[in-house]
């Protein structure tokens, strides 16, 4: 008796996932976390108007969601001042990443990213047989010039750049990215991940026309809008590229409750402003707590802070493990020299109080 016949590509892939979820970690440790500060979720929650819209829409859950997400696309287009044909809705940025890679990348196709950048992108490229080429960060920032130069060198079909960046929280001005675009080789697409841009200083969003065929930008309702569990995001790009997704996307992949919630969230500007203020307050509190423990918080344009532990990656890992032991879920970069840091999501005062208690204890343990 035999099992299924996997493709050669699947047989060659390691059996792993980009992240181990906090729920799995809680099961392993036999207790819930006291402070969930590792997944960059919004602990301030979604707009009450979004919750009300989702609650009302739940009665209609017997229906499939609109496969074109028309109403939400209209609202996103108006929000950004682009045409309806420039907008695509998808199952969070992760879902959009998977479909974009499926659309463009086949076995052996060259793709460029930064060493230590968002691993889910790499996961999708590997899954379709693409060949990843990685460049180093420059002073804890992804380096657009180096990324685009590498793309030209190898004839890449796709380049990944997050602005602001995860896991470091660093950012470039939008003008810097727009100016570097001229270095992209013909036929290469820049995937500009703007998941955290709502938290960033004015001018971080790149001034790039929606119809520029060199760029697709992706945003999400998971971070500033507080709807990570709804799995909904969107892409903005040239109309021909957006239409091409219809060849391969999951047309009924969008949950109608999530669609309703995202529409209400997008229109609640007051709640977004409130969350961004609270995140800024929390960034300052994380920096204070880190400083009092003898560590340095890196500048951040996101809803998390990378904290420099002052030594190497092994030392930072021991601090992370000591925090997890104390019920504080955090994560860290995995590639040197960024792995000297731990990454702490912003949270409410009660979450910061747990962090303020646990971090000095964790440091005392690892320094013994």
Q: Could you tell me the two tokens for 101?
A: 């890679």
Mean per-residue pLDDT of the chain: 96
Give the pLDDT mean for 327-334. 97
Q: Specify the CATH class of 48-267 in words.
A: alpha beta
Pairing of strands 110-114, 131-135: parallel
Residue 14 neighbours by CB distance under 10 Å: 5
Structure token digits, residue 267? 């229109």
- Cα dihedral 231, 236, 240, 245, rounded to 10, equals -10
Q: Where are the domains of the chain?
A: 21-45+270-367, 48-267
pLDDT tens per residue, range 222-233: 999 999 999 999
pLDDT digit string (tens) for 169-203?
Answer: 999 999 999 999 999 999 999 999 999 999 999 99
Give 317: exposed, middle or buried? Use CB within 10 Å, 0-12, 13-18, 19+. middle
Cβ distance 327 to 35 under 8 Å? yes
Please name the residue that has the structure tokens 């602990």.
43
pLDDT at residue 2, rounded to an integer: 82
pLDDT at 62: 97
Q: pLDDT by residue (tens digit) across 119-163? A: 999 999 999 999 999 999 999 999 999 999 999 999 999 999 999
Task: Say if CB 351 and CB 43 are below 8 A apart.
Answer: yes
pTM above 0.85, yes or no: yes
8 A C-beta contact, residue 45 and residue 224: no
The residues that bridge with 190 in the sheet, in sequence order, are: 159, 215
Predicted local confidence at residue 89, as pLDDT: 98
CA atoms within 13 A on the CB side of 18: 15
pLDDT tens string 92-127: 999 999 999 999 999 999 999 999 999 999 999 999
- Does residue 303 have a pLDDT over 90? yes
| CATH number listed for the domain at residues 21-45+270-367 | 3.90.1150.10
What pLDDT is recorded for position 356? 98
CB 49 within 8 A of CB 261: no
Please say if the pLDDT value at position 1 is more than 80.
no
CA-nearest of 356, 88, 366 to 246 is: 88
Res 207 pLDDT > 90: yes
For a pLDDT cut of 90, what percent of the chain falls above it?
94
307-324 confidence digits (pLDDT tens): 999 999 999 999 999 999
CA distances from 318 to 11, 330, 333 (A): 34, 12, 13
- Closest listed residue to residue 259, CA positions, set 90, 129, 114: 90
Would you say residue 18 has pLDDT above 90? Answer: no
């Amino acid at each position: 008796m035999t099992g299924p016949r996997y493709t050669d590509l699947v047989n060659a892939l390691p059996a792993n996932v980009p992240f181990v979820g906090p729920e799995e970690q809680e099961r392993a440790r036999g207790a819930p976390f006291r402070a969930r500060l590792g997944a960059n979720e919004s602990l301030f929650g979604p707009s009450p108007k979004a919750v009300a819209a989702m609650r009302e829409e739940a009665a209609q859950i017997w229906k499939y969601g609109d496969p074109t997400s028309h109403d939400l696309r209209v609202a996103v287009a108006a929000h950004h001042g682009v045409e309806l044909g420039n907008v695509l809705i998808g199952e969070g940025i992760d879902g959009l990443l998977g479909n974009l890679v499926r659309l463009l990348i086949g076995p052996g196709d060259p793709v460029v990213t930064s060493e230590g950048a968002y691993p889910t992108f790499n996961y999708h490229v590997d899954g379709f047989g693409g060949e990843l080429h990685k460049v180093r960060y420059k002073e804890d920032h992804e380096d657009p010039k180096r990324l685009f130069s590498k793309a030209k060198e190898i004839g890449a079909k796709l380049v990944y750049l997050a602005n602001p960046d995860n896991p470091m929280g660093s950012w470039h001005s939008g003008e810097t990215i727009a100016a570097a675009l001229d270095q992209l080789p013909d036929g290469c697409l820049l995937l500009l991940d703007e998941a955290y841009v709502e938290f960033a200083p004015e001018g971080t969003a790149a001034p790039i026309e929606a119809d520029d065929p060199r760029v697709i930008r992706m945003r999400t309702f998971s971070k500033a809008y507080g709807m990570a569990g709804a799995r909904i995001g969107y892409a903005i790009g040239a109309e021909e590229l957006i239409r091409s997704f219809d060849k391969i996307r999951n047309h009924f992949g969008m949950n109608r409750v999530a669609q309703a919630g995202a529409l209400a969230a997008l229109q609640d500007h007051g709640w977004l402003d409130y969350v961004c203020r609270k995140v800024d307050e929390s960034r300052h509190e994380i920096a204070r707590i880190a400083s009092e423990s003898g560590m340095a918080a890196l500048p951040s344009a996101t809803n998390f802070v990378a904290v420099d532990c002052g030594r190497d990656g092994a030392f930072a890992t021991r601090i992370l493990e000591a925090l997890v032991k104390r019920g504080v879920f955090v994560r860290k970069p995995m590639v040197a020299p960024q792995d000297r840091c731990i990454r702490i999501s912003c949270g409410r005062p009660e979450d910061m109080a747990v962090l303020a208690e646990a971090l000095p204890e964790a440091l005392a343990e690892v320094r013994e």
